[in-house]
A and B are shown apart, each in its own frame.
Chain A
């Protein structure tokens, strides 16, 4: 029988079969951070971060949302969204998303507008040890 580490809530049995009765149950692992940090993308390009895990892990990426000023000009906001966003209009097409590969992540930011925002898009990322 495999060994387990269990921490039951006060008043609950360690032999309980109800998952909610436990603070910690080693059958259900916590996510473990492999790498985290900040980045600045190009305003129309890809930022690559190598993790070299050999498999596709859980990844979280948040980045500055790009809005418009109402006249088709890109405005870099101070709001950080999950890096899967899209702003689309008659003359604009701004977007961001992340590709999770076996040994790297590609953080993509797109901008097909005639105007661009200066300095790229800032963001934060978390790459977990856990395989997706």
Chain B
């Protein structure tokens, strides 16, 4: 018999409740944060590469660091605004961020662990 570890939300019985009422189940895939790194594209380059060397294509979120009168802020990419397009692609070894800007830009790259596929 395969054993399952479940953690139920408060007020629910882990033995009987549905999966939607669990905080954790080893039967269900979950993604943890593998790493969060800062990647900087220097001028006049229009792309920057971050090597993760995981050997598979990870799920990632990427944010560009910007600022305005309200202070420093992040904005998720890809973004398609005119004159400031930013996109990225992922390979089994790297993440490549491409822009049409030659300015120095800073990015926060969030890499998730692979789904455990129980």
Contact = CB atoms under 8 A, between A and B. Distances in A.
Interface of A: prevailing SS: strand
Interface string A21-37: 01111001111000000
Interface of B: prevailing SS: strand
B52 interface: no
Contact of A101 (B2, B36, B73): B73
Given A7-B5, A23-B118, A31-B33, A98 B75 contact: yes
Contact of B63 (A9, A23, A132): A132
Given A9-B116, A23-B116, A86-B80, A56 B30 contact: no
Contact of B73 (A28, A85, A86, A99): A99
B24 A24 contact: yes
Interface residues of B, number: 34
Interface stretch (B13-21, B43-51, B93-101, B107-115): B107-115
Contacts of B5: 7, 23
Contact of B2 (A10, A29, A30, A130): A10
Interface of B: 2-3, 5, 24, 26, 30-34, 36, 61, 63, 66, 68, 70-82, 108, 110, 113-114, 116, 118
Interface of A: 7, 9-10, 19-20, 22-25, 28-31, 56, 58-59, 82, 84-86, 88, 95, 97-102, 106, 130, 132
